[in-house]
Every structure is written in structure tokens, then in C-alpha cells.
Structure 1
Amino acid sequence: MESTQNTLAALSEGMADAVANAGRSIVRVHGRRRHPGSGVVYAPDLVLTAGHVLEREEDLSVETADGRTLPARLLGRDHSTDLAVLRVDNLGVEAATPAEGEARVGQISLAVASPGRGDGPRATFGIVSSVGGPIRTRRGPRLERYIQTDASPYPGLSGGPLVDVGGKVVGIMVAGWGRGAAFAVPVDLAWRVAGALQERGTVRRGYLGILSQPVRLPGGEKIDLTQKGGLLVVGVEDGSPAGRGGLMVGDIVATLDGQPVEDTDDLLVLLSGDRVGRAVPVKVVRGGEPQELEITVGERG
């Protein structure tokens, strides 16, 4: 019995330490009339938060754990991931530490929110209940990857970190997509989006310029593919990247840059980020035979 109590006490102390560690890098974000959100300092004078907590783009401010209220400037937001970046001059708050590797289903997760006035950070406890992607959010866009936790969502949680038992950030909370479920953007994706927003104010989104529909791949073994489906091209825009790369109506797109494409969500995910403007190999099935094309991914204006 004593051994069990000691184990539970150690776990309890460890979780409290994790919240305290994470709390040093969290600020309160004032960007809407009700329910301030949270934000994570990810680099000097830079705060990553959930885009939906910013109902305005001016008169923004953050409140630090030591009671300072500082003006903030919006550098950019990405509606697909529901993330936004703020610059806060002379913030003087240490940056959070991202966790290494991917979140695992079943691992303990702590969703940490900004402090209230005169209080320390707030936290809710759960486990990582699922990971995956893409997923269509309640607000419309598709998220490339997500972490779902059963930690209870509550007002003020959005924009705060989901942390592991060491207090390292595994994701940024963008709660409220599901019915009572809490979701987070995985930290590697969140940091990548933050870098793009910091640099350009937007995230580059690519396109091929096709109309398509999912179909079953004919004779996948014959064309050295294990996936069951692909995207049948039913239309190609004039002058589009697909047209210039030789893609034709009737082709079935099977892979892009070596990654399987079984539906439109797969394609949209693969067209984002550093593939924009780059020539990538596209494997297609044409007349029952595999062919490989090279297509330069375009950028949506």
C-alpha cells in the first residue's frame, strides 16, 4: 500500500511540476469581448494562439503571469489550422519547449490555460485519445493532422498548450471542433505554421488545377501499389500546373511525391507547405498502365 501511495504521490508531483513548467511560457490573450484565450510563447516576443480567440485585429493585448498587460500586434493567421501569431515587444517571457516525436494514443496529456488575474495557470487532465488527420473542422477548413484529448475543454483553454508529463508542448489547443471534444494541432505542425506566419503572414497553399473524384485503383498489384484507391481526373484547368505537367482527363492520380493519394483530403494535405513551387513526381494510372509525371505545384493567390 505504501509503495502504491508513493507512486501516486510521485505522479501527482510530476504532473504539478509539468503544469508549473508549462505555465511559465503561457500568456492570457485579449482579442474578443468575452472569455480571453491563452497563448504560448514559442520564440522571443512571439506568441502562438488560436485564431478564433482573435475576433478583432486591432487593440490586442496579452497579460503575463506576473501581471503585466502589453500591447500585441497580429503578424498573421491561418484559418486551416486555426492558428495565429502575435508580436509583443519587450515580452520577456521564456519560450516553451516542444516535445520530440509524435503524440501517442494513451499518453497522459495536460491542457494548460493562461492564468487568471493574480492566479497561477489552470489545467485539465486526460489522455491522448486519438491522433490522425486530415479532419474537417466545424469552421469548414481541413486540418492536416490533429491530436484529440479527453481533457475537458473550458473557456480560456483555446490557444494554450497540450503538454506531456515533463511540461513539454505536444500541441496547441484549438478546442471546440467536436461535440465536447478537445483538439490540438501537433506541435511540429504548429511551429511550422508559426514560422510561416511570422515570415509572411500567411501559409502557402498549393494546387494542381484539377477536378477529381475518388475511385478504386484497377489492379493495384500490377502497378506496384498497395493502396486501394486513387483520384480520377475529370477536369483539367487551362494553363494549370496539372495541364503543364501533362496530366489528362481519365488519369488516376495514385501518388504525389511518393505519398499515396486516395481522396481529395490526401491531395490537399500533400499540396501544402514546402511542396509549393517545387517540381514533384506524380504517379498516375493511364489506360491501366502506370506512368510518372513531374508537376510543379502552383500557389493559390
Structure 2
Amino acid sequence: MNNSSQLPDAVERLGASVIGLSTRRHGGSGVLWRDGVVVASASSLWRASTVSLVLPDGEQAQGEVRGVDAATDLAAVTFTSGAMPVAERAAAAPPRVGDFVFAVGREQSGLMQASFGHVGSVAGEWRTWRGGRVDRLIRLDGGLYPGLDGAPVADASGQVLGIATSAFSRHRAVVLPVATVERVLEQLLTHGHVRQGYIGIAAQPVRVALDGASVDGLLVSSVADDGPAAKAGLQVADVIVKVGGQPVGSLEALRELLQVGAQVRVLVARGGHGHELSIEVAQRPDRHCH
């Protein structure tokens, strides 16, 4: 920022879209992402179905928790937002290590608070330890003050880069980028959760011979009774080589190809030869199988 006196203005502009959240057990911050839709931290809301909102003008409102995704620590809350401005998202190039950033939260008393720092590290797509897919790693150079989980993190001009969370790192907060928020939010508003494909297997990466060639695949170690894979004839010791014509050398690659409701062609190596099966992808009932 060329003029440091512009920073308080940027904080104030973003603060006009920041909301305090309070449940019986937790408190946190959120930001008006769409008209009537607040994005917040899933861990701050715990299992609440409603939440008390503290608005920038000091008024209080009741919000309805429309959905939570523990895998990305994101939640969607809806309420009647009136004339509140929606936070402006950054459309410029992705942040770089060393970029100045700030987070704005709101305490349950209504007091606005801000935290200032820098981007500590950046990288490509990654998965949280809870299995959530995040489009880009943006790690801050420090942790978060209490109450800033779910707060928007902005660049020096006040445009939002993403949502702050301390759920995935003990010492360094991460920013869930705009692309991730948009993708998860759409599913939370539509389904109340993030739908994840399931075929009912446990598997691990291996290298296997298929028709005389060596290829990467996933060795099936168990098949759930009455699951989609079992119904299609997949067996323990089969090696999944391709799904929908795409190679699957890792569990992450498999997850990306399992769209709920889709009928997928699965190429497996069985006894050194290829067999093709058709599996209908279901919605994953738990977090233990794929």
C-alpha cells in the first residue's frame, strides 16, 4: 500500500461486512459473502443449528446454520442482511510469500478487532488432515487471535483473499482461498454438507503388471458388503488402474473422479489382465472408505 493512512480505511470498509457469531459454547467471526449468506468457521459453530449474530451497527440477529464442512472448517449461515455490503473479493494474482495481509473479526460485544501480518508460505492444491480439498495453500506467518477463526483475510487494499482458520495447524493459521469457499459454500447451501463420492472400498497405492506393462494403481484391501463396488463385482486384491479412462495412482486422484450419482467405468488389473466394471457412485456415509 503506497499510503499507510489508507490502511485504516481498508480495515473499516471490510469491517462493514464482518459479523460476530455466538453459540452456547463458542464464539467466532464471519463475513457477509453473499446477500444474506455469512461464511464462518465450522469449528466455531460446533453442532449449533442457530447462532446469534452481532452486526456491524451493533444490532443483533438470529442466523440459521445452513451447513458445515469439518473437512475444510467452513460453515454457511443465512439471515436477513438488510443493507449490509458484501465483502469484496480479490481478483488479482494469487498472493506471494511476504505480502502484507490483515484479518478483521468482531467480538461478541460488537467490538471490531484486526490483526496484521504477512503471507508466510504459498503452494498449490492440498488436503487437510480431515480430507478436505483446498485449492491453494496460503499460510500466514503467525497464529490467530481468539475470535478470528472464520474472519476474512484481505490484501493491503482490503480485498478478501479467503477465510482464516487455525483448525489445521497448531502454530500457523491458514487462509482458505476464495475458490475453495465458493465451491464449498455452493454445496452447503444446496445440500447442507459437501457431498463426497463413495464406492465402498479401502485401498492403497501399488505398482502392478497389466498385460505385460508396469502401471500405478490402487490395491483393493477390503470391499464393503452391499456397497457400490461389491455390487459391481470388484474384489479384494483387484488393482484399480483407471476410472472413467483416467489413471488413478493415488487415493486423491480416485476421490476427484468419484462424483455422486455418476456411473463410472473402472479398469482393474486382475491376475495380470485387465477387466472393466461399471460402478454407480454413491454418497459417502462416513469418513473411512472411498
Sort the TM-score into its range (normalised by shorter chain).
Answer: 0.7 to 0.9
Q: Which residue of 1 aligns with 2:283?
A: 299
Q: In structure 2, the residue corresponding to 1:190 is in which secondary structure? A: helix
The answer to whether the 8 A contact 2:28-2:148 is kept is yes
Q: Which residue of 2 aligns with 1:178?
A: 169
The answer to whether the 8 A contact 1:111-1:173 is kept is no
The answer to whether the 8 A contact 1:109-1:162 is kept is no
AA at the equivalent of 2:261: G
Say whether 1:45 aligns with 2:36.
yes
Decide whether aligned partners of structure 1 residues 269 and 15 sit closer, same or farther in structure 2, where only a CA change above 3 A counts: farther
Q: Which residue of 2 aligns with 1:161?
A: 152
Q: In structure 1, the residue corresponding to 2:106 is in which secondary structure? A: coil
Q: Which residue of 1 aligns with 2:254?
A: 267
- 1:64-112 CA deviation, whole Å, 9 max, x = no partner? 2222221222222122222221122244322223334884552625241
1:231 to 183, 194, 218: 218
Cα shift at 1:129 = 0.8
Q: Which residue of 2 aligns with 1:149?
A: 140
The answer to whether the 8 A contact 2:140-2:174 is kept is yes
The answer to whether the 8 A contact 2:43-2:167 is kept is no
The answer to whether the 8 A contact 2:68-2:74 is kept is yes
Decide whether aligned partners of structure 1 residues 220 and 269 sit closer, same or farther in structure 2, where only a CA change above 3 A counts: farther
| Structure 2: segments with no counterpart, 5+ residues | 286-290
Distance 1:202 1:276 in 2: 13
Q: In structure 2, the residue corresponding to 1:167 is in which secondary structure? A: coil
User: TM-score, normalization: structure 1?
Assistant: 0.78
Q: In structure 2, the residue corresponding to 1:142 is in which secondary structure? A: coil
Decide whether aligned partners of structure 1 residues 80 and 69 sit closer, same or farther in structure 2, where only a CA change above 3 A counts: same
Decide whether aligned partners of structure 1 residues 98 and 293 sit closer, same or farther in structure 2, where only a CA change above 3 A counts: farther
Q: Which residue of 1 aligns with 2:62?
A: 71
The answer to whether the 8 A contact 1:83-1:190 is kept is yes
Q: In structure 2, the residue corresponding to 1:114 is in which secondary structure? A: strand
Cα shift at 1:30 = 1.3
AA at the equivalent of 2:174: F
Between the aligned residues of both structures, percent identity stands at: 32
> What is the RMSD of the two structures over their aligned residues, measured on CA atoms?
3.2
Distance 2:47 2:159 in 1: 30
AA at the equivalent of 1:40: V
Decide whether aligned partners of structure 1 residues 287 and 19 sit closer, same or farther in structure 2, where only a CA change above 3 A counts: farther
Distance 2:181 2:169 in 1: 20
> Is the strand fraction higher in 1 or 2?
2
Decide whether aligned partners of structure 1 residues 169 and 90 sit closer, same or farther in structure 2, where only a CA change above 3 A counts: closer
Cα shift at 1:180 = 1.0
Cα shift at 1:127 = 0.9
The answer to whether the 8 A contact 1:197-1:203 is kept is yes
Cα shift at 1:120 = 4.4
Q: Which residue of 2 aligns with 1:276?
A: 260
Say whether 1:187 aligns with 2:178.
yes
| Structure 1: segments with no counterpart, 5+ residues | 1-8
The answer to whether the 8 A contact 1:172-1:185 is kept is yes
Say whether 1:135 aligns with 2:128.
yes
